[in-house]
Amino acid sequence: MTDAIKTCPICSASNHRNAPVCWNCGTSLTGIEINQTTDKTGQESSYHFDHGETDLYESALYRTGQRYLFGCFGLLAALLIIGLGLVVAPSAMDQVGIVFSASQDEATPTSPPRLFLPTVTEGPDIPTPTMTIAPTETPEPTATREPCYQVVQSGDFLFDVVARCGHRDTDVFDLVVEINNMNDIGMIIAGQRLEIPWPTEIPDPAAPPPAQDEAAAGNPAVASAPDSDGQRSVLELDDDELEEFFVIPTPTLPPGIEFHTVSAQDTMISIISQYDTTIESIRNLNPEMTFTQCNMGMRFGGERCSVILNLGQRIRVPIPEPEATAVPEITGEETAMPTPTPTFNAPMLQRPADRAAFRNNELITLRWLETGSLGQNETYRVTVEDRTAGVLYNYETLDTFLIVPEQLQAVSQSIQRHEYVWYVDIINTSNPDTSLFRTEMRSFTWETRIEN
């Protein structure tokens, strides 16, 4: 195949036959003859290794590299086969040896060795003692206690409901919500019937261990046998002897306080009425008890007040004032007797606690406990001093509390804290300047009211 081209006379570059200028140097090709060229595809290459025109031909180098690469792979494969042979060959030879020896053992039968044992002579029968197993008492099945079912009353919270089943804290709330398929603890309505699990019974630490009782019941000799020196066991002593044997100390109470043992008919209202006290006094004397939704500003705590009492529980209560003894009519023939004097009254400050702090929207109630009765013409004088403003207030009362009047609260442009101190005196109204008894002094802070 031939192509028509123009050859540039300057740079000898081949150009298209219709090209006006050389593509390489820009020389004008006008008037240049068109040459005919022949396609050299398929012709023999003009490169000859014999002439030494180049030192290394690329195609020859490629074929030499392939030879070396394949040779390395072959050498590695041969080494791998030899290594596997060295590892597998010993175990294979052992297997062959075992098979060979087994075939020889099967081919040559050997007679088993003979064992000579002494002959056993039968003797007379020896009686064997038999053990009599005592019958085991089957314990009677204990009846499963049914859950506590409660119907929600109007105004009840969940705590009120679980408290009627004996619970004293909120740990059972999650279990009650799960058992009754409730979303949260606030989803209760009046008339709803709730299933409440009973609280876990705490064993009495003073009760004897069950093992001791069973041992004494199953073996009467243990309970009745005297000691080696002739003395009786503790289990044989009667109640009067046990009282002499075990001495239980009685807790020491401050003056004016005593224990009340809860009976089956007792309620918190009946106890407060019996001892002529308030629910706040009961709470202060018994910090271990739980008072739920009780308004301490009311004597009985309000309608929603809930206090759990257990049969036999001992709670501390203030001693009520003794009743006045009627004085018999004097006829002139009686022997003169000294006039009885009332029990010495030494009041103790109760609330608020020392260094208490109050907001400007709170009312303050000062309370104290009396250990006796006031004598004739005696009264309490409460002194409240605003030390920040330097103002002193005195109030006389026969009660054991005083609500601080709002007039004692200071007024300012911004909220400030004033420091107050208070104490209680017993005075005689005929001689008010002389204090018969004065309590300790306590302090509290009260925020001022904002002036309108």
Structure tokens at 164: 């009627």
Q: Give the amino acid at 26.
A: G
- Predicted confidence at residue 221, as pLDDT, reads 39
**pLDDT (tens digit, 9 = 90+) per residue, 345-394?**
778 898 888 989 898 888 899 999 887 788 888 999 999 999 998 889 99
Structure tokens at 263: 């009976």
- Predicted confidence at residue 278, as pLDDT, reads 92
**pLDDT (tens digit, 9 = 90+) per residue, 27-41?**
888 888 888 766 555
Phi/psi of residue 205, nearest 5 degrees: -65, -20
Ramachandran assignment for 315, one of left (phi > 0), alpha (psi -120 to 50 degrees), beta (any other)? beta
Structure tokens at 14: 């081949």
Burial bucket for residue 364 (CB in 10 Å: 0-12, 13-18, 19+):
buried
Phi/psi of residue 6, nearest 5 degrees: -110, 130
Q: Give me the torsion for CA of 172, 173, 176, 177, rounded to 10°.
A: -150
C-beta pairs of 38-46 under 8 Å, 24+ apart in sequence: 38/1, 38/2, 39/1, 39/2, 39/3
CA distance 196 to 361: 40
Fold of 348-450: Immunoglobulin-like (2.60.40)
For 153-181, what is the mean pLDDT? 82
CB 443 within 8 A of CB 423: no
- Predicted confidence at residue 98, as pLDDT, reads 58
CA distance 406 to 393: 12
CATH numeric code, 257-318: 3.10.350
CB 317 within 8 A of CB 257: yes
Between 251 and 224, whose confidence is greater? 251
Confidence class for position 328, pLDDT limits 50, 70, 90: low
Residue 94's H or E segment, with its range, is: helix 58-107
Residue 91's H or E segment, with its range, is: helix 58-107
CATH numeric code, 148-196: 3.10.350.10
Confidence class for position 251, pLDDT limits 50, 70, 90: low
CA distance 272 to 279: 7
**pLDDT (tens digit, 9 = 90+) per residue, 267-281?**
898 899 888 899 998
CB 451 within 8 A of CB 412: yes
Between 423 and 209, whose confidence is greater? 423
CB 393 within 8 A of CB 408: yes
Q: How is residue 43 annotated by DSSP?
A: S
For 338-347, what is the mean pLDDT? 61
Task: Give the bridge partners for 259, in sequence order.
Answer: 316
- Predicted confidence at residue 248, as pLDDT, reads 47
For 315-342, what is the mean pLDDT? 63
Confidence class for position 208, pLDDT limits 50, 70, 90: low
- Name which of 6-20, 133-147, 361-375 the model is least confident about: 133-147
- Predicted confidence at residue 444, as pLDDT, reads 94
Buried/exposed 45-68: b ≥16 CB within 10 Å, e otherwise:
eeeeeeeeeeeeeeeeeeeeeeee
Q: How is residue 287 annotated by DSSP?
A: T
Between 345 and 422, whose confidence is greater? 422
- Asked if residue 448 has pLDDT above 70, the reply is yes
Burial bucket for residue 105 (CB in 10 Å: 0-12, 13-18, 19+):
exposed
- Predicted confidence at residue 424, as pLDDT, reads 94
Confidence class for position 243, pLDDT limits 50, 70, 90: low
Read off the pTM: 0.29
- Asked if residue 343 has pLDDT above 80, the reply is no
Most confident of 34-48, 88-102, 332-346, 384-398: 384-398
Alpha helices in 108-124 (DSSP H): none
Confidence class for position 5, pLDDT limits 50, 70, 90: confident
Q: How is residue 398 annotated by DSSP?
A: S
- Give the position of tokens 């150009």: 15
